[in-house]
Amino acid sequence: MAGHDKDAIRHNWTHEEVLALFDQPFNDLLFDAQVTHRRYFNPNRVQLSTLLSIKTGACPEDCKYCPQSARYDTGLEKEKLLQIQQVIGAAKVAKESGSSRFCMGAAWRSPHDRDIPAVAEMVREVKALGLETCMTLGMLSESQADALAEAGLDYYNHNLDTSKEFYGEVITTRTYQDRLNTLSHVRNAGMKVCAGGIVGMGEEQRDRAGLLMELANLPRHPESVPINMLVKVAGTPMANEEDLDPFEFIRTIAAARLMMPQSYVRLSAGREAMNEQMQALAFMAGANSIFYCDKLLTTANPKANTDMQLFSRLGIKPESFEERQGPAEQEAELVQRLDEAKTDSLFYRAG
């Protein structure tokens, strides 16, 4: 884009600028996203996370995509908060399977203060195994965010879901500002932010652009940005939405990579319905994190051995926890990749 500094980390995107990214020829968009990706990451490493539902169903919210809402009959069985030994056991299996981050999700509108000691203990025990920790528990107050940070929680996930303009078509039981407030509490407490959204809910391209604009214009970019494809669950109001064009999904991944170049962009829910070619394009577009488990809270996910077979064919390896700690030799390698990416970009564009 004319006058656009591709090396800049920006927080002032406009709708028109983001739509211009989406409107680029597909090959140009993927090329730019891949060059940007190589500036900040090893292009052949993907971070693996495992997600465990620690409390399932009976959520009072009315999110129209969610089978955990108590308002919809989806056949989902309610479960109380798991015992800590169950969580530790699942975390051990996740680590042995190659995951470096363990995410714990509870179907709450927001946790009660009485719930915080139990989930804080889960955080401490999982961290003791040498895993990064992430939780998604709904809206948090300032004091709850502080308590989780004190327990050592690394990431807190709270998605914006969609654009401000389309948000009312998705959920009415909490506001967009409620979501932004929780992200602010998380950041102020010193935790890393995991925030993304869902596409394929009947929104327009302008809404997908608006979602990315909201995320990229936060005071600090989320360290992790999950891009979910709607999983259509029978019994939810969005069960019969039309499928999103796969190329439009890849454009969303690429735009996220260009706008938030230092963030992990997670290829998240919906992978079960994506063929290998679509997933490979997503990695080419800058996705470098996946959920690596058989189930995402309540919906299916590709089997772990299937992921490893695809990784082998693509020459991709799981990223280790140590690789994200930033030792000096990795910093030197990053600088070298940046120089090579700039040279390649100039060479090809000049031709």
Residues annotated catalytic, as ranges: 59, 63, 66, 103, 134, 194, 266
In the block, which residue shows the tokens 């308002």? 71
Q: Which of 278, 268, 298 is nearest to 72 (CA)?
A: 298
Q: Is the dihedral of CA 1, 45, 268, 87 positive or negative?
A: negative
126 and 160 in contact (C-beta within 8 Å)? Answer: no
Largest CA distance in the chain: 63
Which of 133, 195, 208 lies closest to 158, judged by CA?
A: 195
Residue 216's Cα: distance from chain center in Å?
Answer: 13
- How far, in Å, are 62, 143, 196, 274, 351 from residue 243 at the CA level? 22, 41, 19, 12, 38
